[in-house]
C-alpha cells in the first residue's frame, strides 16, 4: 500500500507531500531497489521494520527509526523490510532549511539519525509516533513538530523563484542566467542556493534534467537515446552517458532496457 497525503496549509510552502508505505510480505527483506537523485530531501519514520540502506561503494546498514535523508547526487540501494511501515515527509527542494539550523549541506548524500542531530526533541517525537494508533495521528504529530520548529527566512522566496526557473527550463539553464533573474551576483547566488537546497544550482539543474529525460521516455517510448540527449540539451552522447552513469550507475540504454 502506498498513499500520498497533502500537508496542512501552513506547511504546504515547504513540504511536497507525505508518503505512507506499508508492506506485509513473509520475506525479511525485499530485493534491492536502486534509488536515484530526485532533487528532494526527506524525513522518514519507520513504525514497521527499518530498511537496509547502502550508498555507492559503502557497506550496508539498517536505517534508524527516524532518519533525515539529504539531497542525493548519486544513486543508492534500498532494501525494504517485508514488514515495512513508514511515513515519509517529502520536502520541497528548498523546504528543509526552514526547520533546521544546522548547515543543510551536511546532509548531502547522507541518511542521518534525527536523534544525532536534535537529541531531546527526537526522543519525545519518536515516543509519540510509536504510540500513535494510525498514520493520520502520526502525520499530526510530525506536523506539530515541524510547525514548532518553523523558521521564517528572508531569502526563501528568492530561492523558490530560482527553483521555479530551473524547473520551467527543465534544467537547461546556466547558473549565471538564474542569478541575473533573481538579482544576485553569481557567487552570492550559488552560496544562497546551496544554503537552502543543499547542493549548488548547477547540480540541481542536472538532476531536474535527468528526471525530465525519464519522464520524456515514459511518455514517448519510441524516442531513441540520441533524440533524448538532443532534446534535453546534452552536448553529445558521451556527456549524456557520463551524467546518466554518475546518477544511476547505468548507461541510458541499460537503464531504460531494465525498465521495459
Which residue is listed with cell 555507492?
A: 56
What integer pLDDT is reported at residue 159 of this predicted model? 96
Residues 164-187, mean pLDDT to the nearest whole number: 95
Residues 247-259, mean pLDDT to the nearest whole number: 89
pLDDT digits (tens, 9 = 90+) for 41-92: 999 999 999 999 998 878 888 999 999 999 999 999 999 999 999 999 999 9
pLDDT digits (tens, 9 = 90+) for 182-206: 999 999 999 999 999 999 999 999 9
Domain boundaries, given as residue ranges, for the chain: 2-149, 158-258
What integer pLDDT is reported at residue 120 of this predicted model? 80
Q: Quick check: 168 pLDDT over 80?
A: yes
Which residue is listed with cell 530560482?
A: 162
Q: Which fold has domain 2-149?
A: Jelly Rolls (2.60.120)
Report d(CA 80, CA 31) in Å as an integer: 8
**DSSP per residue over the chain, as a string?**
-EEEEPPPGGGTTTEEEEEEEE---SSSBPPPEEE---S--EEEEESSPPPEEEETTS--EEPPSEEEE---SS-EEEE-BTT-EEEEEEE-TTTGGGT--S-GGGGTT-EEEHHHHSHHHHHHHHHHHHT-SSHHHHHHHHHHHHHHH----TTHHHHHHHHHHHHHTTT-S-HHHHHHHTT--HHHHHHHHHHHHSS-HHHHHHHHHHHHHHHHHHH-TT--HHHHHHHTT-SSHHHHHHHHHHHHSS-HHHHHHHT-
The three cell numbers locating residue 136:
493520520
The three cell numbers locating residue 84:
515495512
Q: Which CATH class is domain 158-258?
A: mainly alpha
Share of the chain above pLDDT 90, in %: 79
Q: How far apart are the first and last CA of the chain?
A: 23
pTM equals 0.92
Residues 164-180, mean pLDDT to the nearest whole number: 95
Amino acid at each position: 500500500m502506498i498513499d500520498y497525503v497533502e500537508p496542512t496549509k501552513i506547511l504546504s510552502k515547504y513540504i511536497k507531500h507525505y508518503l505512507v508505505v506499508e508492506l506485509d510480505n513473509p520475506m525479511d527483506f525485499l530485493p534491492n531497489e536502486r534509488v536515484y537523485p530526485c532533487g528532494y530531501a526527506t524525513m522518514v519514520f519507520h513504525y514497521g521494520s527499518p530498511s537496509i540502506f547502502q550508498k555507492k561503494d559503502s557497506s550496508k546498514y539498517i536505517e534508524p527509526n527516524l532518519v533525515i535523508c539529504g539531497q542525493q547526487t548519486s544513486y543508492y540501494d534500498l532494501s525494504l523490510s517485508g514488514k515495512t511501515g513508514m511515513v515519509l515527509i517529502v520536502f520541497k527542494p528548498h523546504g528543509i532549511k526552514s526547520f533546521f539550523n544546522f548547515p543543510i549541506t551536511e546532509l548531502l548524500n547522507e541518511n542521518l539519525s534525527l536523534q544525532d542531530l536534535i537529541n531531546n526533541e527526537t526522543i519525545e517525537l519518536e515516543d509519540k509516533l510509536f504510540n500513535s494508533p494510525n498514520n493520520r495521528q502520526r502525520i499530526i504529530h510530525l506536523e506539530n513538530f515541524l510547525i514548532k520548529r518553523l523558521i521564517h527566512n528572508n531569502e526563501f522566496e528568492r530561492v523558490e523563484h530560482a527553483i521555479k526557473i530551473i524547473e520551467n527550463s527543465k534544467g537547461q539553464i546556466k547558473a549565471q542566467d538564474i542569478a541575473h533573474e533573481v538579482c544576485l551576483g553569481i557567487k552570492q547566488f550559488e552560496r544562497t542556493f546551496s544554503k537552502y537546497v543543499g547542493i549548488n544550482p548547477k547540480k540541481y539543474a542536472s538532476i531536474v534534467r535527468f528526471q525530465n529525460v525519464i519522464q520524456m521516455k515514459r511518455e514517448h517510448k519510441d524516442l531513441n537515446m540520441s533524440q533524448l540527449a538532443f532534446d534535453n540539451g546534452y552536448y553529445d552522447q558521451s556527456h549524456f552517458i557520463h551524467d546518466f552513469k554518475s546518477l544511476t550507475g547505468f548507461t541510458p540504454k541499460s537503464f531504460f532496457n531494465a525498465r521495459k
